[in-house]
Structure 1
Amino acid sequence: MPRKKPGVRARGLGAELAAMREAAGLTVTAVAAKLDWSKSTLSRLENGLRNIVPEEVSALLALYGVTGTERDRLIGMSRSLDEPGWWAVGLPGLPSESATLASYESEASRLVSWEPMLVPGLLQTLEYSRSFMLADGIEPDQIELRLTARLRRQQVLRRAGVEYVGLIGEAALRAHVGGAEVMHEQLCHLGDVAKLKSVSVRVVPTRACAHPGMVGGFQLVEFPSARPVVHVELARTAVFLDETPMTGPYREALERIDLVALNARESQHLIADIVRELR
Structure 2
Amino acid sequence: MASRRSPTARHRRLITELNRLRESSGLSRAEVAERIGSTDTTVWRYETGLTRPKPSDVAALTDVYGVTGEARDSLIQMARDARKRGWWHRHRQALKPGFDSYIGLEAEASVVRSYEPLVVPGLMQTEPYARAVIEATALTHAPSAVDEKVSVRVSRQQLLHGPGDPIQLVAVLDEAVLRRQVGGPGVMREQLEHLLDLGRLPNVEIRVIPFSAGAHAAMDGKFCLLSFPEPGDPDLVYLEQAASGLVPEDPEEVRRYTLMFGSLSALALGAEASATFIAQMAKRCSNQPQE
- Tell me the TM-score normalised to structure 1 length: 0.81
Aligned to 2:190: 185
Return 122-131 or 135-144, whichever deviates more. Answer: 135-144
* Alpha-carbon shift at residue 135 of structure 1 (Å): 3.4
Which of 262, 281, 284 does residue 274 from structure 1 map onto? 281
Question: Deviations for 1:25-56, whole angstroms, at most 9, x for unmatched residues?
Answer: 53243972765666665454344343222123
What is the identity, as a one-letter code, of the residue corresponding to 1:277? R
1:240 is the counterpart of 2:246: yes
* Alpha-carbon shift at residue 186 of structure 1 (Å): 0.6
* CA gap 1:83/1:137 in 2 versus in 1, 3 angstroms: closer
What is the identity, as a one-letter code, of the residue corresponding to 1:243? E
Gaps of 5+ in 2: 1-6, 287-291
Aligned to 2:200: 195
* Alpha-carbon shift at residue 20 of structure 1 (Å): 5.2
What is the identity, as a one-letter code, of the residue corresponding to 1:94? A
Q: Is the 8 A contact 1:44 1:50 kept in 2?
A: yes
* CA gap 1:247/1:145 in 2 versus in 1, 3 angstroms: same
Which of 149, 153, 168 does residue 152 from structure 2 map onto? 149
Q: 2:166 and 2:182 mapped to 1: Cα distance? A: 32
Aligned to 2:263: 256
What is the identity, as a one-letter code, of the residue corresponding to 2:95? P
Aligned to 2:110: 109
Q: How is 1:1-279 mapped onto 2 (pairs within 5 angstroms)?
A: 7-19=8-20, 25-29=24-28, 32=32, 41-62=42-63, 63-68=65-70, 70-89=71-90, 91=91, 93-97=93-97, 98-136=99-137, 138=139, 139=141, 141=143, 142-159=145-162, 160=165, 162-223=167-228, 224=230, 225-226=232-233, 228-235=235-242, 237-244=243-250, 246-279=253-286
Q: Secondary structure at the match of 1:231?
A: strand
Q: Is the 8 A contact 1:229 1:240 kept in 2?
A: no
Please report the RMSD computed on the Cα atoms of aligned residues, expressed in angstroms: 3.0
Aligned to 2:289: none
Q: 1:199 and 1:19 mapped to 2: Cα distance? A: 35
Q: 2:53 and 2:79 mapped to 1: Cα distance? A: 6
Q: 2:283 and 2:266 mapped to 1: Cα distance? A: 27
Q: Secondary structure at the match of 1:147?
A: helix
Q: Secondary structure at the match of 2:190?
A: helix
Q: 1:257 and 1:75 mapped to 2: Cα distance? A: 42
Q: How many residues align?
A: 269
Q: 2:187 and 2:39 mapped to 1: Cα distance? A: 58
Q: 2:274 and 2:27 mapped to 1: Cα distance? A: 49
Q: 1:48 and 1:78 mapped to 2: Cα distance? A: 12
Q: Secondary structure at the match of 1:197?
A: coil
Q: 1:27 and 1:109 mapped to 2: Cα distance? A: 34
* CA gap 1:80/1:207 in 2 versus in 1, 3 angstroms: same
* Alpha-carbon shift at residue 208 of structure 1 (Å): 1.5
* CA gap 1:16/1:164 in 2 versus in 1, 3 angstroms: farther
Q: Secondary structure at the match of 1:136?
A: helix
What is the identity, as a one-letter code, of the residue corresponding to 1:151? V
Q: Secondary structure at the match of 1:232?
A: strand
Gaps of 5+ in 1: 1-5
* Alpha-carbon shift at residue 147 of structure 1 (Å): 0.7
Q: Secondary structure at the match of 1:275?
A: helix
What is the identity, as a one-letter code, of the residue corresponding to 1:231? Y
Return 36-45 or 56-65, whichever deviates more. Answer: 36-45
Q: Secondary structure at the match of 2:244?
A: strand
Q: 1:99 and 1:107 mapped to 2: Cα distance? A: 13
